[in-house]
Amino acid sequence: MSVAVSGSSLIKRLEKRIDNNFSAQIELLQKLVKAKSANQYTPDLSPKDVPVEGKVAKLIYGEIKNLGLSPKRMGETRERSNVVCIFGPDRFRKSLILNGHMDTVEQTSTWTKKPFAGVVENNKLYGVGALDMKGTLSAYIFALKALVAEKVKLDGRLILEFVVDEEPGASSQFGTEYLVKKGILAKAAIIGEPGTGKISIGHRGGYRFRLTTSGEAVHTGFSAWEKKEKGRNAVLDMARVIVALQTIEMPYRPARAFPGRIPVFTFPTNIHGGTSINIVPDKCVAEGDVRLMPGNSDKQVRMWMEEAIKLHCPDVIYEIEDLVYVPSVEIAKHEEIVDTLLKNMMEVTGRKPKIAGAGPWNDAWMLVTRGIPTVAGFGPDGENAHGANEYVSLDSLKEVTKIYLRTVVDYLGIKK
């Protein structure tokens, strides 16, 4: 049997733990920032045996182990293992996943702060991944630490997931998807992507592709090229394809989570072709990015592309290679996990966030498509995620740690 906890003395004690432990939380976050975990790979080339997140995983595993708990390393290989901690009773009715990725983007060249020092200035902690999303990881751990210290007996199961290989496109088989396939499921989930201004109830999807046109190489000084007897310019054919694909109009259905948003077809986003200034290029390669609304799919987009090319330049020899496909997903605005998170956000901060879908996608689709209502984004505030001088606000980090803690307790309940 669960008991009501909102506004209780237990909540006050738990939040006091967060306050008293916050300097230690900052120290952990600084260690996480110093533990480089930049993911330089594309989704199709991400390796199993390179420990991109290894140093971060080791820190997190040790931190949880020091709480007297038994975290697990789960992954395709030891080098790319996720860290999972299950806290709560063996028998339970409700369960909640807190999920966050351990990898970061690569450092840009325009940093003026030290990118891996975890420097604190004006109550902001700077570093690659400080905001996206090592601050969130520290919040999960210190919310758990408060529960352990107060010997809280949850009435449901809390599952902390620290996952690998999210940054290249949230389409990896090594991270969240691996855990789902291993049967790590729950009644609800939160993915703590940064920002308290919005509780994200879904995300748009995406399709990324590579298109190659093929021609025939020939020296530009040969008479066969001069007389148009030999050679075909693959770059010129690509130009025709580019023009043809600009005619695509993508039908879609409006979605409550994405008011006013539409699918967006962008091609090309990068392009290259040719080998020498005096050789007709026989290959040209370009890549494109498509942002999808609920109901759109990669198969639809490919069909529209093929139809446009057939109509406008049927003689072009081309090939399309699928790189990434992530479906757009949304959950109901008043799912219990959304209402619980909203209530606690307002109680802790006095602010009411927007409730809507996110533009960029993340691992939430892997859970939503399995029937798990998932908040696709709610985490600490800061600026410059993926950019120079990324930082997380320490005031916001403390608030969000308390919000996560309250949400866990409210959603799962306390055993009487």
Q: What is the pLDDT of residue 416?
A: 77
Task: Please give the biggest Cα pair distance in the chain.
Answer: 91
Q: What is the pLDDT of residue 5?
A: 60
Q: What is the pLDDT of residue 223?
A: 96
The answer to whether 336 touches 374, Cβ cutoff 8 Å, is no
Q: Round to whole Å and give the CA distance between 165 and 59.
A: 17
Q: What is the pLDDT of residue 8?
A: 86
Q: What is the pLDDT of residue 7?
A: 55
pLDDT profile of the chain (416 residues), mean per 10: 64 97 98 98 93 98 98 97 97 96 96 97 98 98 98 97 97 97 98 98 97 98 96 98 97 92 96 97 98 95 98 98 96 97 98 95 98 98 97 98 98 92
